[in-house]
């Protein structure tokens, strides 16, 4: 497994070592010891999986501290454009976003730390997305930011006419109006 930094240093691309032969492939998507050797000591407590069709945009989601979640996102089947937005007050990258294509072909994973909002757009006919969290889902801490906030300016890699967004995600506030309790440099 190797780590690749993104334009926002705390968001990391994880590239697993994939073994292929005439039967198919094998790789470790998570190994606590390997992660610790790479400097990532996270105790994941919950796995989530979603199925979505082409054009679906899910996000931008986060949970307020002390229930903030670090997420390790990967695609089981299909192709997505995965996005993390820095929502840590006083961060030099506050309001900036990073996006990467995750697919069943490249097998990359995106590690999104606490203090970031997360979302993705489905680029293939459908996608099955799995992600680990280091905190349990808490409905009372669940928050979101509007996926098409012009001040953030995410290029979702799909046209606005093609976007399929839930009623809940359509009414999230813009970043400047969102409830945030993350401060750069703090541990959550």
- 167 sits in which H/E element: helix 167-170
Q: Is 22 a catalytic residue?
A: no
- Please tell me which residue in 131, 147, 172, 188 is annotated as part of the active site: 131
16 vs 89: CA distance, rounded Å: 32
Buried b (16+ CB within 10 A) or exposed e, 99-137: bbbbbeeebbbbbbbbbbbbbbbbbeeebbbbbbbbbee
- Edge to edge, the sheet with strand 2-5 lists 2-5, 12-15, 109-112, 71-77, 126-133, 46-53
**Known catalytic residue: 61?**
yes
Exactly one of 61, 62, 147, 172 is catalytic; name it. Answer: 61
81 strand-pairing partners:
101, 121
Q: Which residues are catalytically annotated?
A: 61, 131
């Amino acid at each position: 497994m190797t780590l690749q930094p993104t334009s926002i240093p705390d968001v990391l691309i994880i590239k697993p070592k994939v073994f292929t032969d005439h039967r198919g492939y094998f790789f470790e998507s998570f190994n606590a010891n390997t992660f610790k050797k790479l400097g990532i000591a996270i105790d994941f407590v919950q796995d989530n999986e979603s199925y979505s069709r082409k054009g679906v945009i899910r996000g931008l989601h986060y949970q307020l501290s002390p229930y903030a979640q670090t997420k390790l996102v990967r695609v089981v089947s299909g192709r997505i454009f995965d996005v993390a937005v820095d929502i840590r007050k006083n961060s030099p990258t506050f309001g900036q976003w990073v996006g990467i294509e995750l697919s069943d072909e490249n097998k990359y994973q995106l590690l999104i730390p606490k203090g970031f909002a997360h979302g993705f757009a489905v680029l293939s006919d459908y996608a099955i997305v799995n992600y680990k969290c280091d905190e349990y889902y808490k409905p009372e801490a669940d928050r979101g930011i509007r996926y098409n906030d012009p001040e953030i300016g995410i290029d979702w890699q799909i046209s606005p006419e093609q976007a399929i967004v839930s009623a809940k995600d359509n009414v999230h506030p813009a970043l400047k109006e969102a409830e945030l309790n993350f401060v750069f440099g703090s541990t959550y």
